[in-house]
Amino acid sequence: MASTLPPLHVVVTPLPAQGHANPFFHLAKLLATRGFFITFINTEWIEERIFRPPNDAAEVSRRLQQQGMHFRFLTLPDGLPPHHPRHLIINEFFEAMHKLSHAMVRLLQSRANEAPPITCIITDSLFACTEEMATVLGVPRVIFWTFSCSASIVLANSQLLLDKGLIPVNVKDAERPESFITCLPGNIPPVKPKDLMVLFQEKSDPMFEIMMYISDTQKKADYMLVNVFEELEGPEAVAGLSYECPAFTIGPVFLQEFLEAAKSSLSISTSLWEDDLDYLKWLDTQELSSVLYVSFGSIAVMSTEQLQELALGLEASQQPFLWVVRADIADGQSAVLPEGFRERVNSRETLVGWAPELKVLGHPSVGGLLTRNGWNSTPETISMGVPMIRWPLWAEQLIRNKSEN
């Protein structure tokens, strides 16, 4: 006799940033293919950036339904003005995120008749307000770390670092071997204090207290999931996250969909949207493993001077390159490239505003990736067997650069 029980219903709440939304989307699809009903919550600001016409939320949901996956996308305002730069004023962004709990609860309750009862919430490790949300709804809260285990361990143990006087960082002592951080669980290599996130440098940094609050709420989770495979960092690193609740490695979450699509020769949907892919035709004209793919993700910024030095380095390399140059990559402003740069490298370059990374990394003409060491790019590049040149810029990227070498 067929079961009459309603499907399990998972509410998925990524931090409103593309680099967080993409792995959550892959995880949500993995669950949906196993019969879960998925409610995917975005803020209006990030939805406008991850859904591009004609692939709006309704169209993506319709396509997923055709594939047998039960999805719905819900949105709510984040409380910030429309033209607020969000990720460029990171403390104001996080302060707004901390206030969204009641709004998300009201949103779910107002649409409760459209879905089965909620089974649990899978939430971003940095989305602290979902702890209150899960309590109000009376359901388990599962944290999904979109970082590596080693970086997650550092962030999850912020209070330990504070209690031992290791943060705020004493800049004068940061390079002394006796100042290296060795008290963290998971048998991760010693961490240089200067490689911690910048917000740990000064207690007066508004993000310092915010991160301490986030770290505290992480301890109240029922389960933890990590977007990594155990062989990359070892079972001890995974165990290092299990001190408050069980932790499980489930990554890379993109890989099953990618492999199944490759086997069936289907078009691979590697993100929430697709864009003009004309530059893939350009890749088709290049020699095997000759192209350097250059991408620094959806948030990271560099100075105009760094951008211009990078451009001159690519020019001097004499290698063909595909470079993702976001409009706000240089100090949040429009990129200013060296005079005459495009004309001098025209025959061996393609500059784009965005690219589906998996499609690019999987192309036979791509021979390397220049990356800011973001975690999404790391397992994707390893899975594709593409060498990396790593230029960590901010956040937890310096920690990973040390722990994975």
Please provide the distance, in angstroms rounded to a whole number, between the alpha carbons at the two ends of the chain: 54
Region of 373 on the Ramachandran plot (φ > 0 left; ψ -120 to 50 alpha; else beta):
left
Beta-bridge partners for 369: 293, 388
Residue range 294-348, pLDDT digits in tens:
988 766 677 788 888 889 999 999 999 998 887 776 665 556 788 888 889 887 8
Catalytic residue, candidates 9, 78, 87, 124: 124
Between 327 and 262, residue with greater pLDDT: 327
The listed range with the strongest mean pLDDT (226-240, 251-265, 337-351) is 226-240
What's the pLDDT score for residue 100? 97
All domains of the chain, ordered by start, with CATH? 9-249 (3.40.50.2000), 275-403 (3.40.50.2000)
Rounded distance between C-alpha atoms, residue 40 and residue 9, angstroms: 11
Percent of the chain with pLDDT over 70: 86
Rounded distance between C-alpha atoms, residue 290 and residue 287, angstroms: 6
What does the pLDDT average to over 194-218?
Answer: 81
124 among known catalytic residues: yes
The listed range with the strongest mean pLDDT (212-226, 321-335, 367-381, 385-399) is 212-226
Question: Which is nearest to 222 in space by CA: 141, 124, 156?
Answer: 141
Least confident span in 24-38, 101-115, 196-210? 196-210
Rounded distance between C-alpha atoms, residue 247 and residue 295, angstroms: 31
Rounded distance between C-alpha atoms, residue 193 and residue 165, angstroms: 11
What's the pLDDT score for residue 400? 46
pLDDT tops 80 at residue 395: no
Question: Which is nearest to 286 in space by CA: 324, 325, 310, 321?
Answer: 321
pLDDT tops 50 at residue 265: no
The listed range with the strongest mean pLDDT (71-80, 149-158, 318-327, 357-366) is 71-80
Residue range 146-162, pLDDT digits in tens:
988 888 898 889 889 89
What's the pLDDT score for residue 234? 87
Q: How confident is the model at residue 263 (pLDDT cuts 50, 70, 90)?
A: low
Question: Which is nearest to 324 in space by CA: 357, 348, 302, 291?
Answer: 357
pLDDT tops 80 at residue 223: yes
User: Before 387, cis peptide (omega within 30)?
Assistant: no
Q: How confident is the model at residue 37 (pLDDT cuts 50, 70, 90)?
A: very high
Catalytic residue, candidates 20, 26, 78, 195: 20
What's the pLDDT score for residue 386? 92
What does the pLDDT average to over 4-25?
Answer: 89
What does the pLDDT average to over 140-147?
Answer: 94
Whether the CB-CB separation of 289 and 362 falls below 8 Å is answered with no
Percent of the chain with pLDDT over 90: 38
* Long-range Cβ pairs for the range 309-317 (8 Å, 24+): 311/337, 311/338, 311/341, 312/338, 312/341, 314/345, 314/349, 315/341, 315/344, 315/345, 317/292
Q: Average per-residue pLDDT in the chain?
A: 84
